[in-house]
Structure 1
Amino acid sequence: MDIKEKIHSLSEDLLKNIERLVVINSQLGTPAEGMPFGPGPAKALDEALSIARELGFKTVNLDHYCGYAEMGEGDDIVGIAGHLDIVPAGGDWTYDPFALTRKGDYVYGRGTTDDKGPVLEALYAMKLLRDSGIRLNKRVRLIMGCNEETGSRCMQHYNKVAEELSCGFTPDANFPCIHGEKGQVTMTAHSQNTRIISMNGGFVFNAVCDFCTTVIPAEDGLKEKLEAAFSESGLIQYHLHESDGLIQIDAKGVSAHASMPALGVNAAGVTFACLAKAGFEDDFVRFYNSHIGTACDGSGLDLKFQDAYGDLTLCNGIVKTENGEISCTIDIRFPVTLSTEQICTMCQNRLEDSDGYIEIQNLTEPLFFPRESPLVEALYKAYTDVTGDTANEPLVIGGGTYAKSLKNIIAFGPEKPGMDYHIHGADEFLLVPEMEEAVLIYMEAIKNLLAI
């Protein structure tokens, strides 16, 4: 039996174990003793470590911040770091997000691609290598974290209590491999200067706001003007209802990851644009449209920029009204040739005026490995040797991974070029043939890293 046949023979077993993780709602919860990120992530880690032990690996639980499965001996460690936490289900799912639903080669469920499925693909790659009798001149360690989606504090803990990695990868992005990750700035826009009675939309800051419900005071002829504006808006659907002196607007857009906001349709942004087009006079409507808007390029904050590795992007994920204040989140991913200091300087004159203000909250520097570095070459070779694809070159992406938290690793798979797996959106999925191929790619990657 050749290696591809062997992987295929394990496919159903791999899917059953992925299901054991997908059924656990492991989004960030309320911390409790022994559960720093709440019961869901802790339960997912316990289950993942149990799967690893069943497959014959030594396991270690690092205080439920993260844990690892390991094989081999030696001082050097080839690390593979994936995460078991998820973003909220959100959106309009066709299938239960917390069940594994298979339709042909498509397997649906939250975490199938981001990142529970890839964690176990890497674990099975380790199992197959171990069972093949390959000489392990280094330890190979699969680290499973519980807080990647909301701050990566799990890897901060790992760095405090565990050993540094010699080299490795995180299976939490794209093939062929990632040699750079854009920097990130998160902000929140605020104002108490608004006539909007309520406005609420979006469910996470790092995905395009895909739904929005807004209530405003009714005015003569306003509903008709809004109908005209929304009819040309590009929304998936919308509904306007007027009663008791109020107009309610329900807008449905399209979710997309914050690193690629142009793939989505921002329901909140479209609503603000339509309010202005219909003549609804409001300070925050004016502030949003002039500072944020629907362009996704940061131009309203004087941040429009691109370099050889990509464009700056801006995503509005959440909008809400609370205690008389309206606010919205802003997630900016900026090219690797800029720094956070430069970004702050570029936008400093656009953060506040009489209509509203923007607060900078978190700053993350970009990550970059030269294309010719041994780590990049080793992983890229694993991909091309298995797939034969030499047309696609190593990438710089807008997403952020554990590569920014752990030394000497870069992101590597599992998403194939040109595919949208709906991560952070409804109906996230994996494809069974790609799952099996990823196991083989990760086997080759580990072998190449053992040789560095």
Structure 2
Amino acid sequence: MNIKEEIHALSDEMLEKLERLVVIPSVEGEPLEGKPFGEAPAKALEEGLRIADELGFKTVNLDNYCGYAEMGEGEEIIGIAAHLDVVPEGDGWTYEPFALTRDGDYVYGRGTTDDKGPVVEGLYAMKLLRDSGVKLNKRVRLIMGCNEENGSECMKHYNKVAEELSYGFTPDADFPCIHGEMGQMALNAYSKHTKIISMNGGFVFNAVCDTCTTLVPAEEGLKECLEKAFSESGLPEYKVTEENGELHIYAKGVPAHASMPTLGVNAAGVTCACLAEAGFEDDFVTYYNSHIGTACDGSGIGLKFEDEFGVLTLCNGTVRTENGTIICTIDVRVPVTLHPEDVRKMCEGKLEDENGRMEIEKLGEPLFYPRKSPLVEAIYRSYVDVTGDTKNQPIVIGGGTYAKYLKNVIAFGPEKTEIDYRIHGADEFIRISDMEEAVLMYMEALKNLLAI
């Protein structure tokens, strides 16, 4: 039996392990004593470490921030860093989000691709490497984090209490591999004066606002004008109803990851555009349309920019109303040639006017490894050796991964760039054939990193 046949024979076993993780709705919750990210992420970590233990690895739980499975001996450590936390399920699922549903080559469920599937793939790459008899002159460690979707505090904790990795990868992005990750800026936008009674939508800051419910005072002819504007907006679903002198507006957009907002449709942005089109005069609507809008390019706050590695993007993830103030979360992905102070200067003086304001909450550094660095070469070679594909080259992405928190780590898979696996959206899936191929690539990557 060759290695591909051996991996294929393990498919059902891998899916059984994956199901044990997917059924746990490991969305971040309220911190509890000894469980910094809540009950569900801690439960997912416990199950992940149990699976690793069953496969014969040494396991360690690092205070329920993260944990790891390890094999081999030596001072140096080759690492795989993946995460067990997931974003909320959101709306629009055809399949049960926290169950594993198989349909031919497709397996559906929240976390199948981001990032519980890769946890299983990494564990089986380690198992197959160990069982092949390859001499492990270094330790191999798979780290399972619990807070990647909300700040990666898990990896910050790892750096405080555990040993540094010599080299490694995080299976939380695209193939063939990632040699750069854009910087990230998080902002909050606030209304100053608004007639809008309430506006609420979105489910997470790092995904396009997929639904929005808005309540405004009824004005003569406004309902008809809004219905006309929405009918021409291209939204997949909307509804405008009038009751007790108020208009209830429901808008359904399309979710997408914040690093690729042009793949989605921002329901809050379309709502503000339609309100203006319908003649609803409002300070915050004016501010939103001029500073945020639906263009996703940051032009409204002076951030439109592109370099050889990518385009700056702006994503409105959530909108909510608190004590009469509308608050929008904004996620900006910044090309690698721009540093934080450059970004700050570009938008300086453009974040506030008489109608609204934005505040910068976080401004992070980009990550970049030269294309010909030993780490990138070792990872990329494993992709080429398995797939035979030399056309696709290492890329720079807008997403942020654990690579920004761990030394000498880059992102490697599991997604193929031509396929939308619907991460952060409804009906997230993984293909079994892709899973099997990823196990082989991760096995080869470990071999190459062990040889550096």
Match of 2:179, SS state, is: strand
Letter of the 2:101 counterpart: T
2:430 paired residue number = 430
Mapped to 2, the partners of 1:119 and 1:375 lie a distance apart of 21
* 1:34-433 map, 5 Å: 34-433=34-433
Separation in 2 of the partners of 1:91 and 1:391? Answer: 37
Q: Give the distance between the partners of 1:393 and 1:317, measured in 2 at CA.
A: 30
The structure 1 segments of at least 4 consecutive aligned residues displaced by more than 3 Å after TM superposition are none
Amino acid at match of 2:236: I
- 1:8 is aligned to 8
Given residue 436 of structure 2, which amino acid in structure 1 is its aligned partner? E
Structure 2 Cα separation of the partners of residues 380 and 27 of structure 1: 32
Cα deviation digits, residues 282-322 of structure 1 (max 9, x gap)? 00000000000000000000000000000000000101111
Question: How many Å separate the matches in 2 of 1:26 and 1:36?
Answer: 13
Residue identity matched to 2:122 = A
Gaps of 5+ in 2: none
State how far apart, in whole Å, the 2-side matches of 1:291 and 1:161 are: 42
How many matched pairs? 452
Structure-2 separation of matches of 1:214 and 1:417: 35
- After superposition, give the CA deviation of every residue in 1:376-395 in whole Å (9 maximum; x if it has no partner): 00111100110111111101
Which amino acid is the alignment partner of residue 430 of structure 2?
L
Please list the CA deviations of residues 139-198 of structure 1 after superposition, one character each: whole Å capped at 9, or x if unmatched: 000000111110111111110111100000000000000000000000000013000011
The alignment yields a C-alpha RMSD, in angstroms, of 0.6
- Match in the other structure for 2:26: 26
- Aligned residue identity for 1:108: Y
Percent identity reads 73
Answer yes or no: is the 8 Å Cα contact 1:296–1:314 preserved in 2: yes
- Mapped partners of 2:303, 2:91: distance in 1: 30
Give me the TM-score of the superposition, normalised by structure 2: 0.99
**Distance in 1 separating the partners of 2:324 and 2:443:** 55
Q: Is the 8 A contact 1:176 1:380 kept in 2?
A: yes
- Whole-Å separation in 1 of the counterparts to 2:370 and 2:158: 26
CA contact (8 A) 1:317 1:328 kept: yes
Q: Deviations over 1:115-150 (max 9, x none)?
A: 000011010000001001001111000000111110
Unaligned residue ranges in structure 1 (runs of 5+): none
Relative to the length of structure 1, the TM-score reads 0.99
**C-alpha separation in 1, matches of 2:304 and 2:363:** 18
Deviation at 1:33, TM superposition (A): 1.5
Q: Deviations over 1:25-58 (max 9, x none)?
A: 1111111121111111110011000000100001
C-alpha contact (below 8 Å) 1:192/1:324 kept by paired residues: no
d(CA) in 2 for partners of 1:63 and 1:319? 33
The code of the aligned residue for 1:120 comes to V
Distance 2:364 2:431 in 1: 32
Aligned residue for 1:149, secondary structure, equals helix
| Cα separation, 1, equivalents of 2:342 and 2:110 | 36
